[in-house]
Amino acid sequence: MRSVIKHRRIVEDRWQHLADGADLPAGPIIVSLARWQRERKTLLERGDPIGVRLPNTADVADLARDLPVLAVVALEFPKFADGRAYSQARLLRERHGYRGEIRAVGDVLRDQLFFMARCGFDAFELRPDRSLEDALAAFEEFTESYQPAVDQPLPLYRRAR
Three-state secondary-structure class, residue 21 = coil
End-to-end CA distance of the chain: 47
Q: 72 and 51 in contact (C-beta within 8 Å)? A: yes
Q: What is the pLDDT of residues 83-140, one digit of tens each?
A: 899 999 999 999 999 999 999 999 998 889 999 999 999 999 998 899 999 999 888 8
| 3-159 topology per CATH | TIM Barrel (3.20.20)
Q: Helices H, strands E: what count in the chain?
A: 5, 8
- Give, for 24, the enclosing helix (H) or strand (E): none
* Backbone torsions φ then ψ of 97, nearest 5 degrees: 65, 25
Question: Please, where are the H alpha helices in 19-137?
Answer: 33-45, 84-90, 113-119, 132-136
The distance of Cα 136 from the centroid of its chain, to the nearest Å, equals 16
Q: 53 and 35 in contact (C-beta within 8 Å)? A: no
Q: What is the pLDDT of residues 105-121, one digit of tens each?
A: 999 988 899 999 999 99
Q: What is the pLDDT of residues 13-27, one digit of tens each?
A: 999 999 999 999 999
Average pLDDT (64-77) is 97
Q: What is the chain's mean pLDDT, rounded? A: 92
d(CA 86, CA 148): 14
